[in-house]
Structure 1
């Protein structure tokens, strides 16, 4: 008598699946919601989520994880990014603020290390049930953010309300950048109406943050999304070339824009003053244009009076002032290859990935967050979400049925 076959239980595999689901849920579901409540949510949650993903990978396939991590670090984009971090660390030698610069370098190294480790820990085939959490988390957080903003508008003012408002504003920033992988996932699953509803809610949130440039950054991201959706390869190359060129040609901006801004001094007086300071720094310190002044010299320079308070806050100025030509060219190459790699992702992920890069770059160029730890961790989470969604796409296509029927083979009678 044959007994029915029973599925063998593997406690280690079950534990790995559970840890992976919890880790991914922290990044996709908990992070956008918690960012509305705590200002340091990303700093705490992203490392926890990545550690759980790494533990799951070590339990399930440690050799596979090691091979993935090694391959990512030795790839061309990986080596360029490591070169950028290495130059930033080397700039500590001539930075006058070694203590704070060391903390900044450690945060940058931690964010990149978490990104590489998390991407290597993700399985080759992600389950759709896990990836649905990206859209669910962004959607719930968006609705909650709108409710909190309405409560903030109608509620009393005070120190406690001000602190809560700061958390909500930072949480809205997290939701905006995390909306791109959520929209890309919905579009890749042909859930157009759901994606449209999420886009409308995110658009409303972006309008509430127009003063910090986030509405403009989301608009630039939407334009990049449309360009790549129209022509994936050409669009990705165009966007990559434009962003990399902006970084490399940034020292020319003060000399190119100042003559035009001086024609309307009242409208752009602050911008013109910042560009004037930048032009004076380039003219009087040509040697530092190559090496930079060292990491964290922009922020500390404003505090100590070395730099005027009106100095530009854009990442373009900070990169050239702190890391010089070497750091700027390395950063431009890293961003160029990152956008090109995003353009090779399947379907709507290419447009969503490029749009996320453009949004993050635009925010940094407009002076938002730049190298703050919570923003670096948020960008790490977004990169991991895109990597996971890319590995959750269909790998095979159904064969196309022929339009014409093939004639049946004649039946040959068998000889008895």
Structure 2
């Protein structure tokens, strides 16, 4: 169906998704609000048009609901219930908005939507590179926050969305423009200060090429990345301290390697004290005040006050324990199974986005940040849809 022929609320929801990269470049937490509003608009569109919702298969839905239920149960032993509830609301609203988008909007997306999304993507890249080249002078002149790391979230947004967007463009015969966007992405990531985004790009690009050649290999790579990051998370700090020579850790001071290793060890100590249940959902920001923090060895715990473990996989272990980690693994299995059922070309994109997301999560701040949950849901939407030329 041509974009202009779609219901107004459908067009509004799609338009919000299309401008997401540019919106994030302008306001680097806006993904949460965009997904929440777009989801409501999509649901209203189905209600007013009398259309049917596309409900997910029961097994994946049950796995997701079980993880959510365990997170809710963990509030019973949270030492900071108000913090837990705030984090739950921050993560829950964009997640719910993303679910509403996935079940409410039709599976086919119009070419005009892809075109505007590509334009917004390019505009976001140009804006980020131009502002960094200008030393953030425009932001300083406007009295806005003018540190280069404010573009870390927008760059991660570009990194995850690019792969499915490029496939949608290729399907429309815009392959050369997709390559141009890819070049813009590389320049933007190189210019930005996000080590997480650079790591994600360095892993996602070869994974995309491999998965384009062999979808089975691409799925295996994505599965290995998710499983490896989850399994190794509680041991990563100790392993890296033993493997990396002190001279190399010192050379990596620009990315705070020594502090990260200590943080990973401190949060792993919490896992050792609460291995089954964790300390409670969303309490990482106040982990230094957790009862388990008083039980760890005196040489540990100094950086529990950092506010987050710098590893979303470790955060699952520390907050939700082995039960939460197993439920996360179950949900990862269903995600991979859903990817396996995508068209061949989109499997490569979904595998690349999954590997990029896992790389980012393994080194960045909080796993439950609203903008991040919104970005994951937007990426899932892009991967799950079909593009057709408009007549």
Q: TM-score range by the shorter chain?
A: 0.7 to 0.9
- Secondary structure of the residue aligned to 1:35 is helix
Residue 60 (1) aligns with residue 49 (2): yes
Residue 18 (1) aligns with residue 8 (2): yes
Deviation at 1:126, TM superposition (A): 2.8
149-158 vs 189-198, which moves further = 149-158
- Secondary structure of the residue aligned to 1:178 is helix
Uncovered stretches (5+) of structure 2, i.e. residues with no partner: 252-256, 294-300
Cross-structure match for 1:315: 312
Deviation at 1:290, TM superposition (A): 0.8
Deviation at 1:153, TM superposition (A): 4.9
Cross-structure match for 1:384: 381
Cross-structure match for 1:176: 159
Q: In the alignment, which of 350, 359, 364 is matched to residue 367 of structure 1?
A: 364
Q: In the alignment, which of 339, 343, 352 is matched to residue 340 of structure 2?
A: 343
Structure index of larger Rg = 1
**For residues 290 and 382 of structure 2, what CA distance do their matches in structure 1 show?**
40
Structure-2 change in CA distance of 1:183 and 1:240 (3 Å) = same
**For residues 271 and 40 of structure 2, what CA distance do their matches in structure 1 show?**
43
The answer (yes or no) to whether the contact 1:39–1:166 under 8 Å persists in 2 is no
Deviation at 1:124, TM superposition (A): 3.6
- Secondary structure of the residue aligned to 1:257 is helix
Deviation at 1:309, TM superposition (A): 2.0
**For residues 289 and 14 of structure 1, what CA distance do their matches in structure 2 show?**
54
Deviation at 1:121, TM superposition (A): 0.9
Residue 48 (1) aligns with residue 37 (2): yes
Residue 39 (1) aligns with residue 33 (2): no
Deviation at 1:85, TM superposition (A): 1.1
The answer (yes or no) to whether the contact 1:35–1:167 under 8 Å persists in 2 is no
Cross-structure match for 1:273: 262
Provide, for residues 28-67 of structure 1, a one-character-per-residue CA deviation record: whole Å limited to 9, x for no partner.
Answer: 1x222222222342232222222222222222233x21xx
Provide, for residues 335-378 of structure 1, a one-character-per-residue CA deviation record: whole Å limited to 9, x for no partner.
Answer: 23213322331142111111112111211111245221122122
205-214 vs 359-368, which moves further = 205-214
- Secondary structure of the residue aligned to 1:126 is strand
Q: In the alignment, which of 188, 192, 196 is matched to residue 179 of structure 2?
A: 196
Deviation at 1:293, TM superposition (A): 0.7
Query: Under a length normalisation based on structure 2, what TM-score does the superposition of the two structures give?
Result: 0.84
Provide, for residues 289-340 of structure 1, a one-character-per-residue CA deviation record: whole Å limited to 9, x for no partner.
Answer: 1111101222112488954326742112211110000111111221232133
Query: Under a length normalisation based on structure 1, what TM-score does the superposition of the two structures give?
Result: 0.79
Cross-structure match for 1:300: 286
**For residues 156 and 44 of structure 1, what CA distance do their matches in structure 2 show?**
22
**For residues 279 and 45 of structure 1, what CA distance do their matches in structure 2 show?**
34
Residue 214 (1) aligns with residue 211 (2): no
Residue 234 (1) aligns with residue 226 (2): no
**For residues 226 and 213 of structure 1, what CA distance do their matches in structure 2 show?**
20
- Secondary structure of the residue aligned to 2:276 is helix
**For residues 23 and 107 of structure 2, what CA distance do their matches in structure 1 show?**
29
